[in-house]
Structure formats: C-alpha cells, structure tokens
Structure 1
C-alpha cells in the first residue's frame, strides 16, 4: 500500500519532475519524451509520475506555467526598479534578453507552439500567459503616458516582442554570434522608438 503523501511531498516531487521534464523537453522536443523516460530520469517506477500529473501534456503545461510566471516576474521587477518611462523600457528589454539566455530551456518551452496558451484545459497556463503578455504592453503604456510614443500599446508591444524574440531565437539557433541578440535588440528598439515618437 503506497504511503500517504503530504502536500510538501507532492510539491517537492512535482518540482523535481518538472525540472527533469524541462531539460528533456528542451533537448529532445516534447513529442520525443515519454512518461517512462521521465520516470527513469528520477529513478522511480514508470507509473509514479501519474500520481502527480494526468499525462505528459499536463507536465508540459506545468513547466510552461512556471516559465511564464518567472519571466513575467523578471520583467515586472525590472520595470518597477526603473524611474523614468525610458528607463523602464530599457530595463524591461534587458530583462527579457537576460531571462532568455539565463533560462534557455524554459524560454524555448514557453513558446512551444504545439500546446496553445489559450487552452481551457490549462487555466493556470492561460493566466500565466496573460500575465507575461501584460509585461509586453505595460512599459509601452508608460512611454505613451510620458509622451515618448504614440499609438496602440498592444500593437507596439507586439512589434517589440516580435523583434526581440526573433533575435533571441536566431542566436539560440547559432545563426547569430554570441552576444549579437542583445546588441541587435538595442539597435532595433532604438529604431522602432524613433519611428513611434509623436509627430514622427
């Protein structure tokens, strides 16, 4: 008869399993990883992960939820720690690039398109995705309020996000030399900002 698990036991094992899954998913792709492999990675029986998660998609959703929340927290902290609107924009952009390269496995899985964020099966993932999305428009609203930019904050945020994500992924794929993503991010952001100034 299996022992009764405490909340701490469950939380600890889920955390260990998510950490192992994050690495294997990023290395091999979620489709190539099995629940049996995840169990072997932790040295437990093949059925043990099913005591904590319904299936592999459930684990992937948990990993991505944690990722989006960590990402959002990093950008929120950066924005809160800067004073002017312009400084907030720079701090958020720097935090974005730093997070991506400090947590490459997490970053890749956050934007895995095989599992949509807007999925009613995973409300926690959906909420974390919304929180992360809000970090992409909050600093733009600061800029607009300060008269530094004009336009739709959602559209502007999407432009900056697409540009930053693009250079990050290119460097991660070895298409850009190390450090190029950060440099290009600064150049692109500066160019976009100039074009978005009121009256530009």
Structure 2
C-alpha cells in the first residue's frame, strides 16, 4: 500500500473533494486518458499515496465523478421540469437543460457517456441516479399523453426519442461538431438547441388526443 499523505490540513472528506476537483481539471485540460491516481495526486499537490485513502483504484475515482455528474444533471433537469408551464414545455426544457449542462460540465459528461471507463455498472449510486433521470423523463412523457399532447400507448418510444435527442445534442456539443455547424450557419449551439426544443414541442402539440 502506498504511504499515507503527510498533509495535515485536510479534514475528513476535504482530501476526497480535492482529488475529485483535480481529476476534473485534468480531464478538461488533457482528457480522460491522462487520469491516473498518481497523476491526480500530483495535480492536487498531495503525496502519491493520498488518493488511496478514498479511492482504491482509478475506476473508483471515475465512478465517484460519474455519480456526481448524474446527480448534478438530475437536479438541474428537475428544476427545469418543475418550472415549465406544461408537460410539453417540460420536455423542451429537458432537452435544453441537457445541452446547457453538458457545455458547462464537459469533464462530467465525458465520463457519464463513457461507462466502460468508469465501470459505472459497478456503482449503485451512479446507476440509481441515471435510472431516476429516465423515470423523470418517462413521467413527463406520460403527463403529455394524459394531456393529449403525445400519442397514447407505450411511452417507451417517445422516451427513447427525447432522450436520444437530448443526449445526442449534448455529446455533439461537447465533442465540437455542433459548434462548427452552427458557426457555419451564423448561429450558436444554444440557439440551435432552442430551435430543436421548439420543434419537438410543435410536433407534440399536434398529437392525436387519447380516446
């Protein structure tokens, strides 16, 4: 086991937060491939053995960040859905929130959409929060159906469509293609996302009411 950290200024949990912050900064600047516990320790200014107090390996550190990313995203989506004036507007707000969150939190999102790196299937917290997000989306789609603003029946296909649109725009935004596309059109990613959100809402409001 690596030696213990000699810094005495950390309270319990403070070292953990420092390591997570350092890891996020490293992902932002150099990418996920640059992450190792030794490198994160160096970036945080602690001894090579310090991370082992909280993270037994690289995957456990990435897991912790992935779980937090899902928690932060879910909190923002809940606020957007609660503030929306109708279930249809809530779906549009959800799409825009995904993209806005992704652009502001690229390190989190790069991990959230790369489960093979963080082994999130081994982390109940990350899995539970991701499932909670899908449940919120499903409930919103069902509310649209009850209001006659979405086709009746199995909500699964519409849930999948909205999720794919939101997550797809988010990742295209993080990876850069959307910036190039919108710049060529004299627009911006937020403007394009708002247009897509409005289009989805327009399509839904034309749905056949349930019988």
Q: TM-score range by the shorter chain?
A: 0.7 to 0.9
Consecutive unaligned residues of structure 1, counting only runs of 5 or more, are none
Length-normalised TM-score, structure 1: 0.82
1:35 corresponding residue in structure 2: 37
- Would you say the 8 A contact 2:94–2:166 is kept in 1? no
Q: 167-176 vs 144-153, which deviates more?
A: 167-176
Q: Secondary structure at the match of 1:114?
A: helix
* Deviation for aligned residue 1:63: 0.2
> Is residue 173 from structure 1 mapped to residue 184 from structure 2 by the alignment?
no
Matched residues, number:
195
- Would you say the 8 A contact 2:87–2:144 is kept in 1? yes
For 1:20 and 1:57, the matched residues in 2 are separated by 15
For 1:192 and 1:27, the matched residues in 2 are separated by 40
* Deviation for aligned residue 1:80: 1.5
For 1:10 and 1:126, the matched residues in 2 are separated by 26
* Deviation for aligned residue 1:156: 1.0
> Is residue 13 from structure 1 mapped to residue 24 from structure 2 by the alignment?
no
- Would you say the 8 A contact 2:37–2:48 is kept in 1? yes
Q: 2:111 aligns with which of 95, 109, 116?
A: 109
2:68 corresponding residue in structure 1: 66
Q: Secondary structure at the match of 1:9?
A: coil
Q: 1:52 aligns with which of 41, 51, 54?
A: 54
Bigger relative contact order, structure 1 or 2 (CA pairs below 8 A, ≥6 apart): 2
Q: 76-85 vs 52-61, which deviates more?
A: 76-85
Q: Secondary structure at the match of 1:109?
A: helix
2:139 corresponding residue in structure 1: 138
Q: Secondary structure at the match of 2:12?
A: helix
Cα deviation, 1:169-198, whole Å, max 9, x if unaligned, reads 223332223325414532552465367544
Cα deviation, 1:68-118, whole Å, max 9, x if unaligned, reads 011011111111222322232233223222212222222222111324776
Structure 1 residues 65 and 14: alpha-carbon distance in aligned structure 2, compared to 1, 3 A threshold: same
Q: Secondary structure at the match of 2:115?
A: coil
* Deviation for aligned residue 1:36: 0.9
For 1:11 and 1:162, the matched residues in 2 are separated by 36
Length-normalised TM-score, structure 2: 0.78
Q: 1:182 aligns with which of 180, 193, 206?
A: 193
